[in-house]
Amino acid sequence: MDQRHPQPAPNYTNAALTMGWVNLMSVLMVIWGLWGLWGLLPVLMISAGLNRGITWLALRRS
With a CB cutoff of 8 Å and minimum separation 6, the contacts of 36 are none
Indicate if the pLDDT at residue 56 is higher than 70.
yes
pLDDT attached to residue 4: 81
Contacts 24+ apart (CB under 8 A), 24-28: 24/50
pLDDT attached to residue 8: 87
Taking the C-alpha atoms of residue 62 and residue 31, their distance in angstroms, rounded to an integer, is 34
| Tens digit of each residue's pLDDT (9 = 90 or more) over 9-53 | 899 999 999 999 999 999 999 988 998 888 889 999 999 999 999
Q: Is the distance from CB of 40 to CB of 33 less than 8 angstroms?
A: no
Taking the C-alpha atoms of residue 13 and residue 44, their distance in angstroms, rounded to an integer, is 27
pLDDT attached to residue 1: 59
pLDDT attached to residue 3: 74
Which of 3 and 25 is assigned the larger pLDDT?
A: 25
